[in-house]
A and B are shown apart, each in its own frame.
Chain A
Amino acid sequence: MSKEGTIYRISGPVVTAIDMTASMFDIVRVGDEGLMGEVIELHGEKAIIQVYEDTSGIRPGEPVTNTGDTLSVSLGPGLLTEIYDGIKRPLATLEEIMGVFITRGVDADGINMEKIWTFEATAAEGDRVESGQVICSVQETDTIAHKIMVPPGKGGVITSIKSGDFNVTETICTLDDGTKLQMLQKWPVRSPRPFRQKYAPDTPLVTGMRILDFLFPLAKGGAAGIPGPFGSGKTVTQQSLAKYSDAQIVVYIGCGERGNEMTEVLAEFPHLIDPNTGQPLMNRTVMIANTSNMPVAAREASVYTGITIAEYFRDMGYDVALMADSTSRWAEAMREISSRLEEMPGEEGYPAYLSSRLAEFYERAGRVETLDGGDGSITVIGAVSPPGGDISEPVSQGTLRIVKVFWGLDAGLARQRHFPAINWLNSYSLYPQSLNQWFRDNVAQDFPEIRTEISGLLQIEAELQEIVQLVGSDALPVDQQLTLEVARMIREYFLQQNGFHEIDAYSGVEQQYKMAKAILTFQENAKKAMAAGGLLEDIVNVPARTTLMRSRFEKGYLDRIDGLVDEMNKEIAAAVENN
Chain B
Amino acid sequence: MSAKEYRTITDVKGPLVFLNKTHPVAFGEIVSLRLENGTIKNGQVLDTSNDLVVVQVFEGTAGINLTAGVKFMGDVFKLPVSTDMIGRILDGAGRPRDGGPEIIADEKADIIGAAINPYSRQSPHDFIQTGISAIDCCTTLVRGQKLPIFSASGLPHNDIALQIARQAKLQDSDEEFIVVFCAMGITAEEYNFFRSDLERTGALEKAVLFVNLADDPAVERLITPRLALTAAEYLAFEQDYHVLVIYTDMTNYCDSLRQIGAAREEVPGRRGYPGYMYTDLAMLYERAGLVKGKKGSITQFPILTMPGDDITHPIPDLSGYITEGQIVISRELHQAGIYPPINVLPSLSRLMGSCIGEKTTREDHKSVSDQMYAGYAQGRELRGLVAIVGEDALNERDKQLLEFSALFDDKFLRQSRDENRSIDETLDLCWDLMQNISTKYLVRLDQQWIDKYHPVDKKE
Contacts and interface: CB of A to CB of B under 8 A. Distances in A.
Interface in A56-81: 56-62
A329 B279 CA distance: 9
- Which of B48, B294, B378 has the most chain A CB within a 10 Å cutoff? B48
Interface string B309-342: 0011110011011101110000000000000000
B49 A258 contact: no
A294 B117 CA distance: 9
A264 interface: yes
Given A91-B118, A260-B124, A349-B275, A9 B47 contact: yes
A230 B114 contact: no
B279 A292 contact: yes
A471 interface: yes
Given A92-B119, A267-B123, A332-B275, A260 B373 contact: no
B276 interface: yes
Given A101-B116, A293-B115, A339 B275 contact: yes
A339 B267 contact: yes
Given A16-B49, A339-B267, A231 B320 contact: yes
A95 B117 contact: yes
B187 interface: no
Given A100-B292, A260-B145, A472 B24 contact: no
A178 interface: no
B385 A415 contact: no
Given A388-B317, A472-B393, A60 B50 contact: yes
B25 interface: yes
Nearest to B50: A60
- Which of A55, A258, A259, A289 has the most chain B CB within a 10 Å cutoff? A259
Nearest to B370: A417
Q: Which bucket holds chain A's interface residue count?
A: 35 or more
Contacts of B202: none
A516 B181 CA distance: 54
Interface in B392-451: 393-395, 398, 440, 443-444, 446-447
A469 B385 contact: yes
A414 to B, nearest CB: 8
Interface in A20-67: 54-62
Interface in A371-388: 385, 387-388
B446 A553 contact: yes
Nearest to B396: A537
B324 A336 contact: no
A415 B388 contact: no
Nearest to B281: A292
A416 interface: yes
A320 interface: no
Interface in A469-496: 469-475, 492
Contacts of A296: 276, 279
Contacts of B113: 101
B326 A231 contact: yes
Given A293-B282, A293-B287, A58 B322 contact: no
Interface in A342-388: 345, 348-349, 385, 387-388
Contact of B320 (A230, A260, A262, A492): A230
Contacts of B75: 57
B289 interface: yes
A62 B25 CA distance: 11
Nearest to A385: B321
B116 to A, nearest CB: 6
Contact of A259 (B118, B314, B393): B118
Nearest to A18: B50
B160 interface: no
A170 interface: no
Contact of B275 (A254, A335, A388, A416): A335
Interface in A389-418: 389-390, 411, 415-417
Contact of B377 (A95, A101, A289, A417): A417
Chain B contact residues: over half helix, strand or loop, or mixed? mixed
A59 B25 contact: yes
Contacts of B289: 259-260, 263
Contacts of B446: 550, 553
Interface stretch (B6-14, B35-43, B93-101, B350-358): B350-358
Contacts of A256: 278-279, 282
A289 B398 CA distance: 46
A387 B47 contact: no
Contacts of A61: 24, 50
A101 B49 contact: no
A231 B346 contact: yes
Given A91-B119, A94-B119, A332-B279, A60 B49 contact: yes
Contacts, number: 226
Nearest to A416: B377
Contacts of A475: 393
B370 to A, nearest CB: 5
Contacts of B377: 415-417
B144 interface: yes
A258 B324 contact: yes
A83 B119 contact: yes
A550 to B, nearest CB: 6
A522 B53 CA distance: 75
Nearest to B369: A417
A460 interface: no
Interface stretch (B26-34, B55-63, B170-178, B209-217): B26-34
B262 interface: no
B313 to A, nearest CB: 8
Contact of A470 (B124, B291, B389): B389
Given A9-B50, A390-B312, A95 B370 contact: no
Contacts of B237: 100
A329 B50 contact: no
Contacts of A289: 118-119
Contacts of B440: 541, 546
Contacts of A229: 320
Interface string B281-304: 011011111011110000000000
A385 B115 CA distance: 22
A100 B120 contact: yes
A272 interface: no
Contact of B114 (A59, A101, A332): A101
Interface of A: 8-12, 16, 54-62, 83, 91-92, 94-95, 98-103, 229-231, 254, 256, 258-264, 266-267, 289, 291-294, 296, 329, 332-333, 335-336, 339, 345, 348-349, 385, 387-390, 411, 415-417, 468-475, 492, 500, 541, 546, 549-550, 553
16 contacts: A9-B48, A56-B110, A56-B112, A59-B25, A91-B117, A95-B119, A259-B115, A260-B123, A263-B289, A336-B275, A339-B276, A345-B267, A349-B268, A388-B317, A472-B389, A472-B395
